[in-house]
Amino acid sequence: MLDLDLPQSGASPASAQDWLATQEKLRGDYRGCGADFSIVQDLSAYTKDEHRLWQQLFRRQSEVAQRYAAKAFLDGMHNLDMSPDRIPDFEDASKRLRALTGWEIVAVPGLIPDDAFFSHLAHRRFPVTVWIREPHEIDYLVEPDVFHDFFGHVPLLTQPIFADYLQAYGAKGAEAMRLGATKILARVFWYMVEFGLIRENGEIKAYGAGMLSSATETAFSVDSPKPHRVMFDLARVMGTDFRIDDFQSTYFVLDRFDDLFAAMNQPFAPLYAALKTAAPIPATELRPGDQVINRGHLSA
């Protein structure tokens, strides 16, 4: 899966129209979206087949989650009381989120520019794409859809410490854009929001939205001997390249979500300054100082 709501690492265009003009193949309908790229979710527009596809994806990924997901993710699914049968009503989920963590969902047509994305997160609003993939895309999708965004991301927003972390992350966005460091900040989203692992009672569990909305990467990330699994370190994550067209070669592992939140409480500018002059660490490499949980056998 590509482009998992990831900040896109470019300069901010002057207007929404300018940004749209730079995007070649966006799938959503951006007509009528607001300056913050929000739209209204039209529940009546979903077809029976689309609800059926949600059902199929939900059943498959719930089984994956039961086996591999972190407790916080499973608790989040429970808190949302998601229907397995229908594409969720964002307003209903927002009511639950507001009561639990003060977050809410905003409907969007698809990918949105960095400044709008960071601003939503900084204000405890999570952008969720309204459309669902086509049946032939059940295993592979070029842009994030409602299943990825909702099933993958929203459960953890019911968890206070992760919710606080994601707001703090969003609040770092404006500075990163000003300093030309969006690409460096985006790596934190990639590795610690889309593809994060956490250790629970000595066992590795998955919490990342990218893996938990994928049919096969969750099992790979937890069970396979191929990838490296390395303890989370902010500067290491910020300096590490990633691949968007294959499973990850390195996963970073938390012991607790508090560590992720605490990492946001430091000045990022010196980290950006150091990292901008260094070559990115290839995702296949381990480095001296890494706290390695599993050394991967990448060619196994």
Pick the closer one to Fe ion by CB: 133 or 272. Answer: 133
Residue 145 makes contact with Fe ion by CB under 5 A: no
Show the site string, 3-42: x = touches Fe ion by CB under 5 A, - = not: -xx-------------------------------------
Contact 239, 280 (CB under 8 A): yes
| Per CB under 5 A, 69 contacts Fe ion | no
Residue 105 is a binding residue for Fe ion (CB under 5 A): no
CB of 250 to Fe ion, least distance (A): 18
3-state secondary structure string across 84-123 = CCCCCCHHHHHHHHHHHCCCEEEEECCCCCHHHHHHHHHC
On whether the CB atoms of residues 87 and 105 are closer than 8 A, the answer is: no
In angstroms, give the least distance from the CB of 1 to Fe ion: 9
Q: Can you tell me the distance from the alpha carbon of 141 to that of 148, in angstroms, rounded to the nearest whole number?
A: 9
CB of 5 to Fe ion, least distance (A): 4
Of 105 and 209, CB closest to Fe ion: 209
Q: With respect to Fe ion, which residue has the nearer C-beta, 159 or 272?
A: 159
For position 209 contacting Fe ion by CB under 5 A, the verdict is yes
In 3-state terms, what secondary structure has residue 66? helix
Residue spans of beta strands (DSSP E) within 157-249: 197-200, 203-206, 228-231
Query: What is the nearest approach in angstroms of Fe ion to the Cβ of residue 46?
Result: 20
Q: How many CA atoms lie within 13 A of 135 on its CB side?
A: 9
Binding site for Fe ion (CB under 5 A): 4-5, 209
